[in-house]
């Protein structure tokens, strides 16, 4: 069974994790916890950047097999989480500001909410 773990296609695992993260972010945003959702988005973004950057360097002995690739996948995800929790690259703040602007525009007097329209 342990040998079968190495046969996992990391692309499928990564895409499944990404879909799960996006679904979690959408659920958090729906509950009004926008700060948490924006930090999750930044965490995913940073971990994806690390993954893409790692693909540009030659493979070492650790990444020569599927288990090494999986290790770095989890490692990049954890680095992304830690970066977002400690302020990150400012993406979560930008997302919060953009959402606030959009909400202000949606509820401005020239564009009242649908419940106010007759």
Higher pLDDT, 84 or 64: 84
Domain ranges of the chain: 2-106
pLDDT of res. 9: 60
CA distance 43 to 81: 5
Q: Hey, what's the torsion of the CAs at 103, 97, 48, 36, to 10 degrees? A: -80
pLDDT of res. 38: 87
pLDDT of res. 99: 83
pLDDT of res. 103: 74
Single pTM value for the model: 0.59
Higher pLDDT, 35 or 3: 35
Q: What is the CA radius of gyration of the chain?
A: 19
Listed range (39-53, 57-71, 104-118) with the worst mean pLDDT: 104-118
- Comparing C-alpha atoms, which of 33, 48, 57, 37 is closest to residue 79? 48
CA distance 84 to 47: 10
Most confident of the ranges 10-19, 63-72, 97-106: 63-72
Provide the pLDDT confidence category of residue 25 given band limits of 50, 70 and 90.
Answer: low
Provide the pLDDT confidence category of residue 109 given band limits of 50, 70 and 90.
Answer: low
């Amino acid at each position: 069974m342990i040998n079968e773990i190495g046969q996992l296609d990391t692309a499928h695992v990564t895409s499944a994790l990404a879909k799960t993260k996006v679904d979690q972010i959408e659920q958090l945003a729906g509950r009004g916890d926008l700060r948490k959702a924006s930090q999750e988005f930044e965490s995913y973004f940073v971990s994806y950047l690390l993954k893409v950057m790692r693909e540009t360097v030659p493979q070492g002995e650790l990444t020569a097999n599927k288990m090494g690739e999986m290790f770095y996948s989890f490692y990049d995800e954890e680095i992304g989480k830690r970066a977002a929790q400690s302020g990150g690259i400012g993406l979560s703040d930008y997302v919060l500001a953009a959402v606030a602007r959009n909400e202000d525009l949606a509820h401005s007097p020239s564009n009242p909410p649908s419940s106010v329209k007759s």
